Structure 1
Amino acid sequence: MIEIDGSYGEGGGQLVRTAVALSAVTGKEIKVTNIRKNRPNPGLKQQHLKALETAAEICGARVSGLFQGSSELFFAPVEIKGGKYNIDIGTAGSITLLLQCIMPAMPFAKEKVELAIRGGTDVLWSPTIDYLKHVTFRALEQLGYAGSVTLKERGYYPRGGGNVSAVFEPCKLHGFHFRKAEENKRTGEGLTGEADVKGERSQQEITGISHASNLPSHVPARQAESARSLLLETGYTSIIEVQSHELFSTGSGITLWTGYCAGSALGKRGLPAEKVGRSAAEEVIEELRAGAAVDTHLADQLIPYMALAGSSSYTVRELTLHAATNIWVTEQFLDVKFKIEEKEGLFEVSVD
C-alpha cells in the first residue's frame, strides 16, 4: 500500500485526484491522510466525493473515508471497467475537476467509457469546459490519448445544472515533446500557438468563446469586444464566438486559446463585462509573451500523462506549486523521475 500525505506541497484536491487516478492505473492500494489539512475548510468537499465515487465505481474499488470533511481516504482498485455512467455532482461542483480524477486511468480501461455529467461547467478554481475541450484534450491527443467532451448546457455557480457528455476509448500512450511554434515548424512535429502543419491558422490568431446565461445579450458581446480590443493592441488577431443563452443557472464567462496557451475569466455581480474580457485577454497574452510551449495550467495537468507515456517534455514560464505537487505524487506511483531545468528564462520539464 502507498501512503500519501495529503498536506504535501499544494495540499489540495488535485493531489487526491491524481493519487486515485494512478492507484487505478497501477492497481496499488492507497491511503491518503491529512486531506486538505491546511485549507480553511479541511477534508473532502462534496465535489471531491462525487469524483472519488465515480473513480471507485469505474474501477470497482473498495473505498473508505468517503464522507464530507473526511481527512483520510483508503482506495483499493480492482479493474478499470468500461460502460456508461450517469453522474450528478449537485449544485455547481466542477465537472472538469471530476474528469481530472478519472482521465489518466481511461487509456487502461477494458472498453469504452461513456459519462453523462451534471454540475458546473464554468466555475471558480477549475478549468473551464472550453479549456478542457480545446486545450487539454488537444494536448493529450499528441500523447495518443483517445477522449472527447461535448458541452450540452453550461452551468454556473451557485446553481450548476450544466450538462456534459464525455467519451473515452482504451488507447496506448506515446511520448511527445511540446515545443514553441517556431521549433515545431522547423521539425514538422506537433502543434503549438495554432501554427500547425496544415497552415489553417497563423500563430498570432486567438480563438475564443464569450458566453452568458439569463443576462442581456450585450454582456457576452462586451466581454468579447473588450478582449478583442486588448489582443489587437498587443498584436494578436482573434475570432471570438458570442453565445447568449437562457439556462437553468445564471452567469457569464470567456475562454481564449491558441495552441496550448489560454486565458479565461468568469463574470460576477457588480463586475463590468469589459473587465471580464480584459482579464482573460491579459492571461493569454502573458502566456504567449513568455514564449513557452504550454501554459501554467496545462503544465500541471500533463504530468501524469507524460509519466505514463514516457519520453516527453515541455517548457513553461513558471513551475507552479500545483505542478511540483503533481510531479511528487506521480513519482510515488510510477518508476519515473522528472527532470526540471531552467533554460532561457523558462522551465523545461521532461521525463524519460
Structure 2
Amino acid sequence: MIEIDGSYGEGGGQVIRTAVALSAVTGKEVKVTNIRKNRPNPGLKQQHLKALETAASICRARTSGLFPGSTELFFSPMEIKGGKYEIDIGTAGSITLLLQSLMPALPFAKEKVELMIKGGTDVAWSPTIDYLQHVTFRALKHLGYAGSVTLKKRGYYPRGGGEVSAVFEPCKLRGFHFRKEEENKRGGENPIEEDIRKGGRDLNQGKEVMGVSHASNLPAHVPARQAEAAESILLEAGYGSRINVQSCELLSTGSGITIWSGYCGGSALGERGLPAEKVGRRAAEEIISELRTEASVDVHLADQLIPYMALAGNSSYMVREITLHAATNIWVTEQFLGVKFRIEEKEGLFEVSVD
C-alpha cells in the first residue's frame, strides 16, 4: 500500500485526484492522510467526493473515509471497467477537476467509458471546459490519448447546472516531445476551430489566437465587450484573434472567456462589479505572457501532463515556471510509477522530461 501525505506541496485536491487515478492504473492500494490540511475548511468537499465515488465505481474499488470533511481516505481498486456513468456533482463544483480524477486511468479500461456530468463548467480555481477541450485534449492527443468532451450547457457559480458529455476509448499512450514549433501550426489538429472561424473575427496578424466569450442571463453586450477587449490587447501584442461570442439563458448567471493557441491558454470569469473589459483583458494578458516565451506549454498544462507523460514514457516539454501544482504532481506520480522526472533550467526556461 502506498501512503500519501495530502498536505505535501500544493496540499489541495490535486494530490487526491492524481493519487486515486494512478492507484486505479497500477492496482496499488493508497491511503491519503492530512487531506487539504492547510485549507480554511480542511477535508473532502462535495466535488472531491463525487470524483472519488465515480472513480470507485469505474474500477470497483473498496473505499473508506468518503464523507464530507474527511481528512483521510483509503482506496483499493480492482479492474477498470467501461460503461456509461451519470454524475451529478450537485453544486457548481468543477466538472474539469472531477475529470482529472478519472482521465489518467481511462486509457486502461477494458471498454469505452461514457460519462454525462452535471456541475460547473466555468468556475474559479479550475480549468474551464473550453481550456480542457481545446488545450488539454489537443496536447493529450499527441500522447496517444483517445478521449473527447462535448459541452451541452454551461454552469457558473453558485448554481451550477452545467452539462458535459465525455467519451474515452481504451488506448496505448506513446511518448511525445512538446516543442514550440508544433504549437505554431495554424489551426493545429482541433476540429472545433473551423466552427469558431465562421463566427469569429478575422484579424490575421502574427500567430492566431482562437477563443470563446460567453454569458448567461446577462445583456448580449457583456460577452461582446469581453471579446473586443481581449482582441484589442492581443492585437497590440501582435496576435490576430478569432473569438466567438455566445449569449444564452441558462439555470445559472455568469460570464467568462477562454482563449487558446496551440498548447497555451488564457481565461477569466466575470464577477459582480467587474467590467467586462477587465475580464477580456485578464484572459489576453495571461496567454500573452506564455506566447512571448519559447515555452512549449503553458504553466497550467504543464502540471496536467505529468501523469500522462509518466505513463507514456520518453516525453518532455519546456515551461517558463515550475509551479507548486506541477512539483506536487511530479512527486505524487513518482510514488506510484517508479519513474524519475528531470528538471533542467535552459535559457530562462525549464525542461521537464521523463524516460
TM-score (norm 1): 0.95
**Cα deviations by residue, 1:49-104 (Å, 9 ceiling, x for unpaired):** 00000000000000000001100000000010000000000120000000000000
Say whether 1:234 aligns with 2:237: yes
Partner of 2:86: 86
Q: CA deviation at 1:194?
A: 3.8
Q: Percent identity?
A: 81
1:322 corresponds to: 325
Q: Partner of 1:294 in structure 2?
A: 297
- Give, in angstroms, the shift of residue 203 of structure 1: 6.2
Contact preservation (8 Å) 2:212, 2:244: yes
* 1:277 partnered with 2:268: no
In structure 2, the residue matched to 1:188 is: none
Relative to structure 1, is the Cα distance of residues 10 and 197 closer, same or farther in structure 2, using a 3 angstrom cutoff? closer
**Equivalent pair of 2:186/2:208 in contact (CA under 8 Å):** no
Between the aligned partners of 1:255 and 1:146, the Cα distance in structure 2 is: 23
* CA distances 1:112-168 after superposition (whole Å, capped 9, x unpaired): 000000000000000000000000000000000000000000000000000000000
Q: Following the alignment from structure 1 to structure 2, what is the Cα–Cα distance between the partners of residues 230 and 70? A: 45
CA distance in 1, matches of 2:117, 2:349: 37
Query: Do the aligned partners of 1:153 and 1:162 also contact (CA within 8 Å) in 2?
Result: yes
Given that 2:49 and 2:66 are in contact with CA atoms closer than 8 Å, whether structure 1 keeps it comes out as: yes
Cα displacement (A) at 1:10: 0.5
Q: Is the 8 A contact 2:83 2:112 kept in 1?
A: yes
Aligned to 1:258: 261
Q: Distance in 1 between matches of 2:61 and 2:137?
A: 26
Matched with 1:98 is 98
Residue of structure 1 equivalent to 2:184:
193
Distance 2:188 2:260 in 1: 18
Q: Which amino acid aligns with 1:151?
A: L
Q: Please give the alpha-carbon distance, in whole angstroms, between the structure 2 residues aligned to 1:9 and 1:52.
A: 21
Are positions 1:107 and 2:110 aligned together? no
Normalising by structure 2, report the TM-score.
0.95
CA distance in 1, matches of 2:89, 2:5: 26
Q: How many residues align?
A: 342
Counterpart in the other structure of 1:309: 312
Deviation, 1:196, is 6.6
* Alignment check: 8 A CA contact 2:145 2:171 kept: yes
Q: CA deviation at 1:290?
A: 1.7
In structure 1, what is the equivalent of residue 161 of structure 2?
161
Matches within 5 A, 1:52-71: 52-71=52-71
Unaligned runs of 5+ in 2: 195-203
RMSD between aligned residues = 1.3
SS at match of 1:177: coil
Amino acid across the alignment from 2:224: A
Runs of 4+ that moved beyond 4 A: 195-198, 200-203
8 Å contact kept, 2:88–2:118: yes
The amino acid of 2:184's aligned partner reads G
3-state SS in 2 of match to 1:103:
coil
Match of 2:10 in 1: 10
Cross-structure match for 1:131:
131
SS in structure 1 at match of 2:57: helix
Residue 225 (1) aligns with residue 228 (2): yes
3-state SS of 1:102 partner: coil
Please give the per-residue CA displacement for 1:249-270, whole angstroms capped at 9, x wherever unaligned. 0000000000000100000110
